[in-house]
Amino acid sequence: MMTWRTILWFLLAIGLAGAAAPAAAASGASPSDQAFLFGLPKAESHVHLEGTMEPELYLQIARRNHVSTPYATLEDVRERLRTARDLASFIGIYEELIGAVKTEADFHDIAMGYFRKAHAQGVVYAEVFFDPQLHLERGVALKTIYAGLARAQRDAKRELGLEAQYILCFLRDRPAQDAARVLEDSRPWLGTLIIGVGLDNPEVKDFPEKFQAVFARAKQLGLHRTSHCDVDQPDTVAHHWGALKLLEVERIDHGLNVLDDPALLKAVRDRGIGLTGAPTLFYTDIPGRMEYRAGAIRKLLEAGVRVTVNSDDPGMKRGLYVGDLMLRVQQTAGLSRDQMVQLARNSFLIAWTGEAQRRRYLADIERYVSIWAATAAH
């Protein structure tokens, strides 16, 4: 029997077949491919709250908070984003733009803006990173951040039927004791709002050893654990091994360099470690970036790894959300529809949700695929 969620997703997908035709044509995809992938139920497990802020919302927040900004128009903001060419330059822009974010309403509006766009592309469950240290350093209170996130969590469920949880992300280029302090100060929100911890920002020389004690404490508090291992960084294979052995992570964010070490690939596959691939594009195209990342995702998928496609920082990277990126991965790497369905299954297999809920989501995928196949046959 079809659930109401499955019916709604299918109707959404049918509607997208016509509405999304121009975008599909521009990417070389058929409207049917885009409609199928946008309607396919999926989870998002690698997206940064702050990085979902679109240029329009950035200017709106800056105005209402009376923040002076050198960017008068949307094109000015986009031009600033075009200067990002690598991780370091992007982080600089990221930290600059989130300087406008100050109030509970800001955090709520950023989260809801993301939830609405992601839901329109089939996301029904999301685990969202946020970087409290960046806000605490600017004088924003922790309770302000959490009040906005909690309200967005409730509104996403009520308005969209989307389940949302948050991952407290520590900054690798800040002291470990700061991360430990934020973790302890966040204890009132653990479990209900925050389900895990992660690590982002530049990979420093003492990563991941630097955060071993913090992650041990997070495990003691019952939190899930993940860490970024960004693509093609110095000592990346050693960092992957350290994340597994020292931090005892359950997922690795990005993680595409697992392919560089056969023993690492085997360990990740055998342990069921999730890799949250993010084939995102900066505002300025970098030749070969999508081809490399989409190809790596295909290789990992064919190797039996629980790899997924995620949007990372969609608001600051060309407004490409997870459905958009799944379509580009399919077209770039030549993945079959069955392989795209497996990517969606993987998104729930690595999600930090209860087993009963996971089974429901996986069953919804199978119903969706069956309905689509039956309709196509007629």
What mean pLDDT, rounded, does the chain reach? 92
181: containing domain: 4-13+30-47+104-377
150, part of any domain: yes
Q: What's the mean pLDDT in 34-51? A: 97
Q: What's the mean pLDDT in 153-179? A: 98
Q: What percent of the chain has pLDDT over 70?
A: 91
Q: pLDDT by residue (tens digit) across 213-268?
A: 999 999 999 999 999 999 999 999 999 999 999 999 999 999 999 999 999 999 99
pLDDT for 15 equals 52
Taking phi over 0 as left and psi of -120 to 50 as alpha, with beta for the rest, 223 belongs to beta
How far apart are alpha carbons 49 and 73 in whole angstroms?
23
56, part of any domain: no
Q: pLDDT by residue (tens digit) across 172-226?
A: 999 999 999 999 999 999 999 999 999 999 999 899 999 999 999 999 999 999 9
DSSP for 106-121, written as a single string? HHHHHHHHHHHHHHTT
25, part of any domain: no
137, part of any domain: yes
Q: pLDDT by residue (tens digit) across 320-360?
A: 999 999 999 999 999 999 999 999 999 999 999 999 999 99
54, part of any domain: no
**CB 288: neighbour CB atoms within 10 A?**
9
125, part of any domain: yes
Token reading at 372: 């689509």
Considering only residues 285 and 291, tell me which one the structure prediction assigns the higher pLDDT. Answer: 291
Q: What's the mean pLDDT in 303-329? A: 97
Q: pLDDT by residue (tens digit) across 20-36?
A: 444 444 455 566 899 99
Considering only residues 308 and 286, tell me which one the structure prediction assigns the higher pLDDT. Answer: 308
pLDDT band at 11 (very low <50, low <70, confident <90, very high): low
Q: Per-residue pLDDT for 19 more than 50?
A: no
Considering only 39-53, 82-96, 135-149, 288-302, which range has the smallest mean pLDDT?
82-96
CB-CB contact of 5 with 161 (8 Å)? yes
DSSP 134: H
How far apart are alpha carbons 200 and 229 in whole angstroms?
8
Q: Per-residue pLDDT for 14 more than 80?
A: no
| Cβ-based neighbours of 245, under 8 Å, separated by 6 or more | none
pLDDT for 335 equals 97
Of 166, 179, 162, the residue nearest 217 (C-alpha): 179
Q: Per-residue pLDDT for 17 more than 80?
A: no
Of 96, 88, 33, the residue nearest 68 (C-alpha): 96
pLDDT for 28 equals 57
68, part of any domain: no
pLDDT for 308 equals 98
Q: How many domains does the chain have?
A: 1
User: Beta strands 251-254 and 194-200: pairing type?
Assistant: unpaired
Of 337, 272, 259, 329, the residue nearest 300 (C-alpha): 259
| Host H or E run for residue 349 | helix 337-349
Considering only 87-91, 103-107, 123-127, 240-244, which range has the smallest mean pLDDT?
87-91
pLDDT for 29 equals 59
- Rg (Cα) of the chain, in Å, rounded? 20
How far apart are alpha carbons 110 and 148 in whole angstroms?
9
pLDDT band at 8 (very low <50, low <70, confident <90, very high): low
Secondary structure E strands in 145-193: 163-171
Of 234, 282, 279, the residue nearest 260 (C-alpha): 234
pLDDT for 251 equals 98
Token reading at 134: 């960046």
pLDDT band at 284 (very low <50, low <70, confident <90, very high): confident
How far apart are alpha carbons 94 and 167 in whole angstroms?
18
122, part of any domain: yes
Residue 345: give its domain's CATH number. 3.20.20.140
